[in-house]
C-alpha cells in the first residue's frame, strides 16, 4: 500500500516511505499476472495520452487550469509505478508536461510493459501532443468518424443521384486545410450545397496564437496552418513536413474575413493521408489509368483499373505508430459489388518512408487481418508496382 500525500498546490504525491514491498495489489497470485500488468501499463499510457490531448485543446482556449482529470490521474498512476519500482517519479503534471512527456518512454527509467515500438516514442513534441499521443488517445479519429458519418447521411439523404458529392467534399478538405469564412461560404453554396451544414461543422476558427506579426502562415508542403514554437519559429503541425524544407506561405485574406482551419480530427485523419491519396491519384492520371477516389462512398481510398481490366484497391494510411494502426484495422478492404478488385493494397504515405521495413513488419505482425507482405508497402514502392503492372499490360497488347 502506498500512501498518497497532497502537496500545497493540490498535487497528489506518493510517499515512497509508505510503500511496503509485497503488499502491492495481488498481481503475483494469478498465472496471467503478466497480461494483467501489460493492460495496466498500457491503459495508464492511454489515459495520459487522452489527458495530454485534452490539455492541448484547453491551452488553445487559453484555459490553463484545472488539468483534465485524465491527465491528473494518468500521471498519478505513473507516479505509483515509479514508487513501486523505487525510481524517481515525475513531480506532478507540470513536471510530466515539461520533462517526462518530451522524453522517449525508454528514457523514463522505469519498466513499462508496452509494445516494443512504443519505447522510442514521446508524448509531447514541440509543446504539442505527438502523433503517437494523438493516435493512442483516439478522440481525433472519433471526431473524424463522426463528421464523415454525417456527410454520408446527408449525401444519401439529399443527393443519391450525385455520388461525386462525397468525393468533392473530401477533396476540398485535403486541398483547403485553411480557408476564409467567405471562401467556404461560396464553395458551400456553389459546389456543395447539400453539405453546407456539415462543411460548417468541419472547420473552426484558426487559433489567434498561431499568428506571426499579425499574419497566419501555411506549410509550403502540405498547406496546413503553421504554429509558432517557443523560440518563435513557424512549424507545421505535421512534423514530417519539416524535412521537406519548404518555405512557409503567408495566408492572404481580406482583413475582415475570418480564417478557419479544419477541426483536429479531420486535420490528422483526413488531411494528412489525403495529401498522399491525391498524389497517387495524380500519378495514376499521368499514367492514363482509370482511377476513382473513395469509391462507393469511401469503401476504400483509390480504385484503379488497368487496361487489361485488372482492378487494384488501395487504402492509404499515415500513422506514426504501426502498432496502433494495426489495431485500428479490423476487416479486409471490402469489395465493390459491381467491380470487385483483384488485388488490394495497404499503402503508407511516403512522408514516413524512413520508418522502413520494420514499420511494415510491425503492422503485419499486429494486425488482426492477415496481409501478405506483397500487399503492404510505402507509396513510392506502390507507384513502382503500378508502373511494372502497366508495362506488363502494354507488352501483352503489342
Q: Is residue 241 at the binding interface for Zn ion, with CB under 5 A as the rule?
A: yes
Binding mask 123-162 for Zn ion (x = CB under 5 A): ----------------------------------------
Angle of helix 33-60 relative to helix 139-158, nearest 10 degrees? 70
- Neighbouring CB atoms inside 10 A of 31's CB total 7
The answer to whether 174 contacts Zn ion (rule: CB under 5 A) is no
| CB nearer Zn ion, residue 166 or residue 221 | 221
* Choices 67-75, 176-184, 221-229, 304-312 (CB under 5 A): range interacting with Zn ion: 221-229
Total interface residues for Zn ion by CB under 5 A: 7
Please state the closest distance from residue 222 (CB atom) to Zn ion, in A.
3
181/204 Cα distance (integer angstroms)? 10
Name which position in 11, 89, 130, 238 contacts Zn ion (CB under 5 A).
Answer: 238
- Applying CB under 5 A, among 49, 75, 151, 219 the residue interacting with Zn ion is 219
User: Using the rule CB under 5 A, is 54 a contact of Zn ion?
Assistant: no
CB nearer to Zn ion: give 301 or 351.
351
Place of cell 481525433: 140
Q: How many CA atoms lie within 13 A of 327 on its CB side?
A: 8
Interface residue with Zn ion, options 51, 224, 273, 295 (CB under 5 A): 224
137/351 with CB nearer Zn ion? 351
CA 226, 229, 235, 238 dihedral sign is negative
199 contacts Zn ion (rule: CB under 5 A): no
Residue 270: exposed, middle, or buried by beta-carbon count in 10 A (0-12, 13-18, 19+)? buried
Cell of 66: 484545472
Q: Which stretch binds Zn ion (CB under 5 A): 55-63, 90-98, 211-219, 289-297?
A: 211-219
Q: Of the two residues 154 and 320, which places its CB atom closer to Zn ion in the complex?
A: 320
Residue 199 and residue 189 in contact, taking contact as beta carbons nearer than 8 Å: no
Q: Which stretch binds Zn ion (CB under 5 A): 159-167, 180-188, 231-239, 270-278?
A: 231-239
Strands 217-218 and 302-305: unpaired
Q: Which stretch binds Zn ion (CB under 5 A): 97-105, 129-137, 168-176, 239-247?
A: 239-247
User: Beta-strand (E) ranges in the chain?
Assistant: 4-6, 12-14, 124-125, 128-129, 178-180, 203-205, 217-218, 226-228, 234-236, 249-250, 259-262, 290-293, 302-305, 311-317, 343-348, 376-378
d(CA 319, CA 329): 12
Decide: is 314 part of the binding site for Zn ion (CB under 5 A): no
**One residue of 236, 262, 347, 364 binding Zn ion per CB under 5 A:** 236
Verify binding: residue 222, Zn ion, rule CB under 5 A.
Answer: yes
Residues that bind Zn ion (CB under 5 A): 219, 221-222, 224, 236, 238, 241
Amino acid at each position: 500500500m502506498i500512501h498518497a500525500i497532497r502537496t500545497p498546490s493540490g498535487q497528489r504525491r506518493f510517499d515512497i516511505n509508505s510503500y511496503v514491498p509485497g503488499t502491492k495489489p495481488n498481481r503475483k497470485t494469478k498465472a496471467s499476472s503478466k497480461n494483467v500488468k501489460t493492460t495496466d501499463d498500457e491503459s495508464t499510457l492511454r489515459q495520459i495520452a487522452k489527458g495530454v490531448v485534452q490539455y492541448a485543446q484547453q491551452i488553445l482556449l487559453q484555459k490553463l487550469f484545472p488539468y483534465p482529470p485524465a491527465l491528473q490521474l494518468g500521471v498519478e498512476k505513473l507516479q505509483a509505478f515509479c514508487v513501486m519500482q523505487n525510481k524517481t517519479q515525475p513531480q506532478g503534471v507540470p513536471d510530466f508536461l515539461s520533462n517526462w512527456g518530451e522524453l522517449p518512454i525508454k528514457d523514463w527509467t522505469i519498466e513499462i510493459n508496452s509494445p516494443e515500438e512504443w519505447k522510442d516514442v514521446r508524448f509531447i513534441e514541440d509543446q504539442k501532443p505527438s502523433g503517437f499521443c494523438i493516435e493512442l488517445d483516439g478522440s481525433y479519429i472519433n471526431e473524424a468518424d463522426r463528421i464523415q458519418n454525417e456527410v454520408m447521411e446527408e449525401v444519401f439523404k439529399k443527393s443519391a443521384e450525385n455520388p461525386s458529392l462525397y468525393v468533392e467534399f473530401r477533396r476540398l478538405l485535403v486541398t483547403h486545410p485553411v480557408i476564409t469564412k467567405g471562401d467556404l461560404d461560396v464553395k458551400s453554396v456553389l459546389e456543395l450545397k447539400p453539405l453546407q451544414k456539415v462543411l460548417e461543422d468541419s472547420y473552426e476558427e484558426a487559433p489567434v496564437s498561431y499568428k506571426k506579426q499579425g499574419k497566419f502562415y501555411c506549410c509550403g508542403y502540405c498547406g496546413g496552418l503553421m504554429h509558432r514554437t517557443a523560440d518563435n519559429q513557424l512549424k507545421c503541425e505535421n512534423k514530417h513536413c519539416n524535412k521537406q524544407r519548404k518555405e512557409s506561405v503567408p495566408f492572404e485574406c481580406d482583413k475582415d474575413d475570418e480564417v478557419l482551419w479544419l477541426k483536429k480530427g479531420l486535420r490528422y485523419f483526413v488531411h494528412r493521408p489525403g495529401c498522399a491519396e491525391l498524389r497517387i491519384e495524380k500519378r495514376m492520371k499521368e499514367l492514363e489509368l482509370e482511377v476513382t477516389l473513395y469509391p462507393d462512398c469511401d469503401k476504400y481510398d483509390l480504385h484503379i483499373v488497368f487496361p487489361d481490366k485488372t482492378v487494384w484497391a488501395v487504402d492509404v494510411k499515415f500513422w506514426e505508430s504501426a502498432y496502433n494502426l494495426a489495431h485500428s484495422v479490423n476487416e479486409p478492404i471490402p469489395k465493390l459489388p459491381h467491380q470487385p478488385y483483384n488485388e488490394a493494397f495497404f499503402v503508407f504515405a511516403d512522408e514516413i518512408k524512413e520508418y522502413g521495413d520494420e514499420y511494415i513488419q510491425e503492422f503485419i505482425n499486429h494486425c488482426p487481418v492477415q496481409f501478405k507482405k506483397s500487399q503492404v508497402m510505402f507509396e513510392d514502392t506502390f507507384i513502382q508496382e503500378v508502373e511494372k503492372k502497366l508495362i506488363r499490360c502494354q507488352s501483352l497488347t503489342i
